[in-house]
Structure 1
Amino acid sequence: MFRLPKVLASVVSALVVATGLTVLGPSTSAEAVPATIPLTIKNSSGRSEPVYVYNLGTELSSGRQGWADANGTFHPWPAGGNPPTPAPNASIAGPANGQTRTIRMPKFSGRVYFSIGQKIVFKVTTGGLVQPAVQNPSDPNRNILFNWSEYTLNDAGLWINSTQVDMFSAPYAVGVKLANGTVKNTGRLKPGGYNAVFNQLRSAGWGGLIQNRPDGTPLRALSPGHGIEAGGLSAGVMNDYINRVWSRYSSSTLTVTPFANQPNTKYYGRVSGNVMNFTNGSGAVVTSFQKPDSDSVFGCYKLLDAPNDLVRGPISRTLCAGYNRSTLLTNPNQPDPNNANFYRDAVTNHYSRIIHGQMVDGKAYGFAFDDVGAHESLVHDGNPQEAFMTLEPFN
């Protein structure tokens, strides 16, 4: 069912405290941000198949789930059923190769999906929209080529990302035009980067993440957590690193400084038995974590759950980043600000490592809290004039 995307939930709801960014107040930005803004989609994919676009999410003014048409008009989902029933056709005809199409984005937290060649199958259950889950081999979208961007447009502006948190698939970049006419972009692969991701996953022994069409053409690479679920990656793939971290901090202290703009707010982690306890400067235990498994690390959830609070969530985000980037053993002060230190251990999140390495700007959402230290593929502006999505070449 649809919910605020985890990536943007982490960015927007904790933006000031977790990243140190300044958000324009409603009194300023409500006047600047209209009810809808244009989204221009450019098709540079080099492919001849038709493109279908979907703008799905939660209408922020009402909290209702639904979809927006090309004019940005909101349509709520019908009641749905159990088993799920077909959703209304929310598709918008996308641009042909070499062309552009401009639609309107309303004040949503949601996703802009696009598919190439076939429409995505969406269904509605009693709890809302059922999203594609291609780690399930019986999902009707398993052999459809599609991808999505997550965004939030509200009175404080636009946040729009290029996300690989769930999968790496059809390449695209996103952008936002500022009031002065300049454009901020992210998500663009290096020339040859699309094929390089698949080839390097195979070389790293993580080729089980790749899902192919029946003819052998790669459709996507699942993220590691979904890969474990689908049987393409060992459930214990991170165990050796997790065990070494547990051993190290049984006899030394891990210091976490979770807020970029609050350098004096620190928490101190020590392992005792199966628990890592974090204390504040007064020595009081503020939260504790059981020893995580690989899926908890990759998903930044379960045993590394990160609620939107001011203590456990920020500590968990930092731990999650340190585990995925394999920096917890090389730096006892987290987060490590130097991306030259990331992914250096033999046991690491190779999926995230490889995708970051193929991005023009080095930024990606290889896991949910890749925004720790601002290494995520996200653009934001408090007074957006226009948003962009570019379908990139498959090379």
Structure 2
Amino acid sequence: MISRRTLLGGLAAGAATAAVAGRAIGAPTARAAGTLPLHLVNKSGAYANGSVWIYILGNDGTQQVRVTPDGKLAPVAVADNGPDGFTDYAIPLAATGTTTVQLPPMSGRIYTSLGAKLKIKAVADGNGKPALAYPAGWVASDPNYDVLHDCAEFTYNSGGMFCNTTMVDMFSVPLALHLTGSGDQTTGTLKDGARARIFSEVKAAAGFDRLVVDDRRVIAPGHGLDSGLFAADYFAPAVDAAWSAYAGKDLTVTTNAGAFTGRVSGDQLTFTGPQGRGARSAAPAGPIAFGKPSTRDVLFCDGVLAAPNDGVRGPLAAVLGAALNRSTLATHPAQPVTDPAAFYQQQVTNHYARVMHGATQDGKAYGFAFDDVAGFASYVEDHAPKELTLTLTPF
């Protein structure tokens, strides 16, 4: 499986707006032979087709691009801003039924907006190249804060289609993906009535209540932290408990590189390895140490838990981050934990992610950026794709 963090890693460098550390749209590594039918289906039950707009925005490997209503790839241009200062890259839905757009090879996001169009500004990035100020619904001053919107993410290239629904930034519009090709896969579908339950259950979780914005969206706790809506030290007790636990016993983390053994000394959790028959021949040059992560590090997979695409430190950071979000690190000395019944059982846990997983039919969601650890993310891929369907599912 291609890691979502590898797949979706480059937008922040190109956009002059509030960006998400370590998770945005990267460029496809190779171009696919042709376009892929993307079907857009509105089953929201809350908005008619005429009040729903789609935006397909991203990167083709050389520049930021958007898809036109007729399925063409067009470069982003500052001149596209209209008299109101914003672009109009909206793709309207057909009056009734399914809307089909031919999706060119690219990496990007499929935004949905309901009730009003998105206000997306074309800007010059730090290198003077055209870029987009993407919607940031978790920022009260963002021009799209009052617009009901959400997105799915994808990369389509010669290797296939790789896509996911996401709640890493926020949750607002229930979306489902159906990918057909060599297989037939669906992810992201909510249980009946789950949108309302997400809002009520997050609001009921201690410390998470201020993340709920009316009936418009639920903001992810990392963005809530940056906005003063979530405690900056929330995960400190869980981190302290884990560091205390492994001061006197080993923590084993198994990745594709093999089994690593960790022990705490002072504030450093230091791993040696890999060891065992599953280890790759190329061992790390020396011990790999992690200081105590902050709550922000845990939620954003950043700072101490930043995960480089190096095959060694990156996977270790991902497993540690997932274990802290799922509250299994202190209690399970063999990581990663693969039994979801063990997740979110402690008082200090990522209740936002817990609620998202409980709301989906397949139990999978992207509630935090390391949610792909052990395969619990709302992610599907196919190396011989034929069609992709994005459905706005019932509210």
Task: Give the TM-score of the pair, scaled to structure 2.
Answer: 0.85
In structure 2, the residue matched to 1:17 is none
Secondary structure at the residue paired with 1:390? strand
Q: Distance in 1 between matches of 2:300 and 2:8?
A: 19
Cα distance in structure 1, aligned partners of 2:319 and 2:380: 21
Q: Relative to 1, partners in 2 of residues 1:377 and 1:72: Cα closer, same or farther, differing over 3 Å?
A: same
Deviations 1:215-235 (A, max 9, x none): xxx111011101111222111
Taking structure 1 as reference, are residues 36 and 86 closer, same or farther at Cα in structure 2, changes over 3 Å only?
Answer: farther
Q: How does 1:57-72 map to 2 (within 5 A)?
A: 57-60=58-61, 63-72=62-71
Kindly provide the amino acid, as one letter, of the partner of residue 252 in structure 2: T
Counterpart residue number, 1:8: 4
Which AA in structure 2 matches 1:279?
A: T
Q: Shift of residue 340 of structure 1?
A: 0.9
Q: 2:209 is aligned with what amino acid?
A: G
> Which aligned pairs between 1:9-28 and structure 2 lie closer than 5 A?
9-10=5-6
| Contact 2:4–2:372 under 8 Å retained in 1 | no
Question: What's the counterpart of residue 271 of structure 2?
Answer: 278
Task: Provide, for residues 204-255 of structure 1, a one-character-per-residue CA deviation record: whole Å limited to 9, x for no partner.
Answer: 121211112xxxxx11101110111122211111111111111111222111
Q: CA 1:377 to 1:101, structure 2 compared with 1: closer, same or farther past 3 Å?
A: same
- The residue that corresponds to 1:41 in the other structure is 40
The residue correspondences of 1:82-231 to structure 2 (distance < 5 A) are: 86-95=85-94, 99-127=97-125, 128-179=131-182, 183-205=184-206, 206-212=208-214, 218-231=215-228
Q: Match of 1:358?
A: 359
1:299 partnered with 2:286: no
1:371 aligns with 2:372: yes
Q: Report the CA distance between 1:86 and its aligned residue.
A: 3.7
Count of residues in Structure 1 that have an aligned counterpart in Structure 2: 356
Give 1:276 deviation, angstroms.
Answer: 1.5
CA offsets, 1:79-104, max 9 Å, x none?
Answer: 589xxx945321100245x6211111
Provide structure 1 residue ranges, at least 5 long, that are not aligned to the other structure.
1-5, 14-25, 213-217
Please name the residue that 2:259 is paired with: 266
Whether 2:392 is the aligned partner of 1:391: answer yes
Change (3 A) 1:338 1:48: closer
Identity %: 38
Deviations 1:3-27 (A, max 9, x none): xxx97333589xxxxxxxxxxxx9x
The residue type paired with residue 99 of structure 2 is R
Corresponding residue number in structure 2 for 1:23: none
**Structure 2, unaligned runs of 5 or more:** 10-28, 126-130, 276-283
Whether the aligned pair in 1 keeps the contact of 2:235 and 2:295 (CA below 8 Å) is yes
Q: What is the alpha-carbon root mean square deviation over aligned residues?
A: 2.3
Q: Say if 1:7 and 1:369, in contact at 8 Å, map to a contact too.
A: no
Whether the aligned pair in 2 keeps the contact of 1:325 and 1:343 (CA below 8 Å) is yes
CA distance in 1, matches of 2:158, 2:86: 29
1:117 maps to a residue whose letter is G
Aligned partner of residue 246 in structure 1, secondary structure: helix
Letter in 1 for 2:210: G
Question: Where does 1:299-378 land on structure 2 (aligned, <5 Å)?
Answer: 299-378=300-379
Q: Which amino acid aligns with 1:219?
A: R
Which has the larger displacement, 273-282 or 38-47? Answer: 273-282
Q: For the residues of structure 2 that align with 1:44 and 1:184, how far apart are their CA atoms? A: 19
Do residues 240 (structure 1) and 237 (structure 2) align? yes
Contact 1:165 1:368 in 2 (8 A): yes
Structure 1 residues 115, 288: CA separation in 2 closer, same or farther (over 3 Å shift)? same
CA distance in 1, matches of 2:357, 2:6: 20
Secondary structure of 1:280's aligned partner: strand
Change (3 A) 1:80 1:301: farther
Q: SS at the partner of 1:373?
A: helix
Say whether 1:77 aligns with 2:76: yes
